[in-house]
């Protein structure tokens, strides 16, 4: 085979024109200069813009969720806690699954197949939530399927072991773990903690391949201990529920206060709801009626009117008030008692719940004197209680009171208050004339707290005696009596307002009192709205709930009985004025 002589090729042997060589060299030089200029522009002159663009494509900030703090009752019993509940999300453009996998995934997520397909077909092809906060076993089954493009995020879901009994106190959170109702909302900043974060570089498949910078660890929320006693709370809710159902009423509420510390031991409403399952929840179920709703308190105000007159020296417990013939003309209005009680002592006015007696005592007081006492007891002011939606109530300035308004306020008409405000105001009688602040948080070591002195100790003791008479033989609250403990309290029956007047046949039944009567440890207030099973008086509807709650509460607190024998069973039913 002959060797090839390339130099003998006419093509290679021909001379190349000089301009062609210069053109190629110039083109290479210009290309190099262009690349150098571009590199300088990208890396020096507009570095920040291109750095941001690069970071947007590969850098991701991953949130590290904080665990929400737990809620305990006063004895350390769990009321709310967080459990791991991953959320399922997807990158639709990366999802690769056959029909069988999609059907299985839809079943695990608890949604129709067409809804899952719709989510995966949305316009945003880079991110879509499939379901938030699924149970851990379900999340594990989804992870085991290993479907490309289906991801999970670590999140937490709240659990409420006490269910509907403590729902209005504890409240609940939303899907983002933010407090929406109750203590969850009131103490959200303490419970929430602070989320952490870490910066990572992700590849095109979304996998983290490298960490960038320092990780910011999450700070878990703090635990809180409420003043609520779960045993008392459950029992109060149970007895309230039974009373509402038995009396065919609309709603009911009960409040239990510790007279020494101002702690709320129980706060229950019926109907209630299950915080873990709010699918069919209605607005009325959510309302914490004991705190958010206000009503005319009726006869529950009579002891306050009497206490004011006693404190100012306008009457004594034995001052005689003429209430006959059972009706009293006041301007264009006629005020009536249920019976013609004739001449009553001030003690008898409270025992028999005389409207006429209360208004005649109020006539010995000025409007300002009554207003000062009412406001000192918390009426017309928003409670200091750390709780969402606490109502202020209505108490007009004393300068605008008309004589008839001053008279009707003496027996609980013309002003409004919540059940909690009424219960709290009675702490002045239970605490020897001092109104102490109320709290939903457990007091350190149960230490007594400082309050505002409204009445003298003598006045408070005198009123307690009257309350004992009202709850005893011949009084309107005889069914408030309990085994082993002396009690005192005042029943109330108020017509329901409707428009500018009052609804026919619609009432609210109340009872507020304390026990043991000589050295009260608890205040209990009960309200039943629109009882319609035949009786509507507070002494017949609300007083029995008071009796049962007081007895159970004092036993749980370890208070020794102050009565050696079971009180006499009274069969006579006394109707109260309203």
Same domain, 333 and 298: yes
Same domain, 346 and 201: no
Query: Domain boundary at 226, 256, 284, which?
Result: 226
Tokens representing residue 74 in the block: 């006063």
User: Mean pLDDT over residues 505-512, rounded?
Assistant: 90
How many domains in the chain?
2
**Is 15 within a domain?**
no
User: Mean pLDDT over residues 436-442, rounded?
Assistant: 92
Q: 157 falls in which pLDDT band (50, 70, 90)?
A: confident
Same domain, 253 and 213: no
pLDDT over 80 (residue 395): yes
Determine the Cα–Cα distance for residues 179 and 442; give it in Å rounded to an integer.
20
What pLDDT shows up at residue 341?
93
302-311 vs 367-376: helix crossing angle, rounded to 10: 110
What pLDDT shows up at residue 250?
93
Determine the Cα–Cα distance for residues 163 and 171; give it in Å rounded to an integer.
10
How is 471-490 classified by DSSP, letter by letter? TSTTSTTGGG--SSS--EEE
**Is 319 within a domain?**
yes
Pairing outcome for strands 179-181 and 172-173: antiparallel
Query: Domain boundary at 209, 226, 243, which?
Result: 226
Same domain, 172 and 215: yes
- Write out pLDDT tens, residues 256-265: 999 999 999 9
What pLDDT shows up at residue 372?
96
- Give the residue numbers spanning the domain of 78: 57-85+154-226
- Of 60-74, 266-280, 432-446, the least confident: 60-74
Cα atoms found within 13 Å of the Cα of residue 380, Cβ hemisphere only: 15
- Write out pLDDT tens, residues 345-385: 999 999 999 999 999 999 999 999 999 999 999 999 999 88
Determine the Cα–Cα distance for residues 298 and 363; give it in Å rounded to an integer.
18
**Is 283 within a domain?**
yes
- Of 12-21, 112-121, 268-277, 481-490, the least confident: 12-21
Same domain, 415 and 365: yes
Same domain, 291 and 163: no
Q: 204 falls in which pLDDT band (50, 70, 90)?
A: low
299: annotated active-site residue: yes
User: Mean pLDDT over residues 186-207, rounded?
Assistant: 74
What pLDDT shows up at residue 571?
46
More confident residue, 241 or 501: 241
- Write out pLDDT tens, residues 49-94: 656 655 555 556 666 778 899 999 999 999 999 888 888 888 888 8
What pLDDT shows up at residue 378?
94
Determine the Cα–Cα distance for residues 288 and 383; give it in Å rounded to an integer.
14
Determine the Cα–Cα distance for residues 445 and 553; give it in Å rounded to an integer.
19
Same domain, 437 and 492: yes
Same domain, 357 and 480: yes
What pLDDT shows up at residue 87?
87
Same domain, 351 and 211: no
**Is 142 within a domain?**
no
230-246 vs 543-556: helix crossing angle, rounded to 10: 160
What pLDDT shows up at residue 249?
95
Report helix, strand and coil shares of the chain as percent, to nearest 5.
40, 25, 40
What pLDDT shows up at residue 493?
86
Backbone angles phi, psi at 363, to 5 degrees: -65, -15
Same domain, 203 and 274: no
What pLDDT shows up at residue 14?
62
Q: 569 falls in which pLDDT band (50, 70, 90)?
A: very low
pLDDT over 50 (residue 393): yes
Query: Domain boundary at 172, 195, 226, which?
Result: 226
Determine the Cα–Cα distance for residues 320 and 423; give it in Å rounded to an integer.
29
Asked whether the beta carbons of 268 and 229 are under 8 A apart, the reply is: no
pLDDT over 70 (residue 220): yes
Same domain, 174 and 260: no
Q: What is the mean pLDDT of the chain?
A: 86
What pLDDT shows up at residue 503?
79
Q: Name the DSSP letter for residue 45.
A: I
Asked whether the beta carbons of 95 and 105 are under 8 A apart, the reply is: no
User: Mean pLDDT over residues 10-21, rounded?
Assistant: 68
Burial 480-500 (b: 16+ CB within 10 A, else e): bbbebbbbbbbbbbbbeeeee
What pLDDT shows up at residue 301?
94
**Is 120 within a domain?**
no
Highest mean pLDDT among 100-114, 323-337, 450-464: 450-464
- Write out pLDDT tens, residues 510-567: 999 999 999 999 999 999 999 998 888 899 999 999 999 999 999 999 999 988 655 4
From 299, 407, 427, 486, the catalytic residue: 299
Q: 448 falls in which pLDDT band (50, 70, 90)?
A: low
How is 103-149 classified by DSSP, letter by letter? HHHHHHHTS-HHHHHHHHTSS--S-EEEESS--HHHHHHHHHH--TT
**Is 126 within a domain?**
no
**Is 533 within a domain?**
yes
**Is 6 within a domain?**
no
Q: What is the CATH number of the domain that holds 254?
A: 3.40.710.10
More confident residue, 124 or 209: 124
pLDDT over 80 (residue 255): yes
What pLDDT shows up at residue 10?
65
User: Mean pLDDT over residues 238-259, rounded?
Assistant: 96
- Of 100-114, 183-197, 254-268, 269-283, the least confident: 269-283
Q: What is the CATH number of the domain that holds 79?
A: 3.90.1310.10
Same domain, 253 and 336: yes
């Amino acid at each position: 085979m002959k060797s090839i002589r390339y130099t003998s090729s006419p093509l290679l042997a021909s001379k190349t024109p000089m301009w062609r060589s210069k053109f190629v060299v110039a083109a290479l030089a210009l290309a190099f200069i262009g690349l150098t200029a571009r590199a300088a522009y990208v890396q020096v002159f507009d570095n920040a813009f291109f750095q941001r663009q690069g970071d947007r494509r590969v850098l991701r900030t991953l949130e590290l969720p904080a665990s929400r703090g737990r809620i305990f009752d006063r004895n350390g019993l769990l009321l709310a806690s967080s459990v791991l509940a991953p959320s399922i999300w997807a990158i639709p453009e990366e999802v690769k699954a056959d029909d069988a996998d999609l059907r299985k995934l839809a079943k695990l997520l608890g949604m129709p197949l067409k809804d899952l397909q719709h989510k995966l077909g949305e316009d945003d092809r880079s991110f879509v939530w499939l379901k938030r906060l699924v149970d851990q076993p379900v999340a594990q089954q989804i992870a085991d399927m290993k479907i490309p493009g289906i991801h999970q995020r670590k999140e937490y879901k709240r659990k409420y072991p006490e269910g509907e009994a403590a729902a209005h106190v504890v409240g609940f959170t939303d899907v983002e773990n933010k407090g929406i109702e109750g203590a969850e909302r009131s103490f959200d900043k303490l419970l929430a903690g602070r989320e952490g974060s870490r910066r990572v570089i992700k590849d095109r498949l979304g996998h983290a391949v490298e960490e960038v910078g320092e990780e910011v660890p999450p700070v878990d929320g703090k635990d809180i201990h409420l003043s609520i006693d779960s045993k008392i709370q459950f029992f109060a809710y149970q007895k309230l529920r039974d009373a509402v159902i038995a009396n065919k009423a609309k709603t009911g509420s009960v409040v239990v206060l510790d007279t020494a510390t101002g702690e709320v031991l129980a706060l229950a409403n019926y109907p209630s709801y299950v915080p873990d399952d709010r699918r069919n929840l209605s607005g009325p179920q959510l309302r914490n009626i004991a705190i958010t709703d206000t009503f005319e308190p009726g006869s529950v105000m009579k002891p306050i009117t009497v206490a004011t007159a006693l404190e100012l020296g306008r009457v004594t417990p034995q001052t005689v008030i003429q209430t006959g013939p059972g009706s009293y003309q006041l301007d264009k209005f006629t005020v009536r008692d249920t019976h013609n009680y004739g001449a009553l002592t001030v003690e008898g006015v409270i025992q028999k719940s005389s409207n006429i007696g209360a208004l005649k005592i109020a006539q010995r007081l000025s409007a300002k004197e009554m207003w000062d006492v009412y406001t000192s007891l918390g009426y017309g002011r928003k409670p200091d209680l750390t709780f969402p939606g606490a109502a202020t109530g209505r108490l007009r300035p004393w300068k605008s009171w008309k004589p008839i308004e001053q008279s009707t306020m003496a027996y609980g008409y013309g002003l409004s208050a919540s059940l909690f405000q009424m219960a709290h105001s009675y702490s002045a009688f239970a605490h020897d004339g001092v109104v102490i602040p109320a709290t939903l948080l457990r007091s350190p070591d149960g230490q007594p707290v400082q309050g505002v002195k409204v009445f003298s100790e003598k006045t408070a003791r005198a009123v307690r005696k009257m309350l004992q008479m009202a709850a005893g033989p011949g009084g309107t609250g005889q069914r408030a009596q309990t085994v082993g403990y002396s009690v005192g309290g005042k029943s109330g029956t108020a017509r329901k307002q409707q428009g500018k007047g009052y609804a026919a046949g619609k009432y609210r039944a109340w009872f507020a009192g304390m026990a043991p009567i000589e050295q009260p440890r608890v205040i209990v207030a009960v309200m039943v709205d629109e009882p319609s099973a035949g009786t509507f008086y507070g002494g017949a509807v609300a007083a029995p709930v008071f009796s049962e709650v007081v007895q159970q509460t004092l036993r749980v607190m370890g208070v020794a009985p102050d009565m050696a024998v079971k009180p006499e069973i009274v069969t006579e039913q006394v109707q109260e004025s309203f």
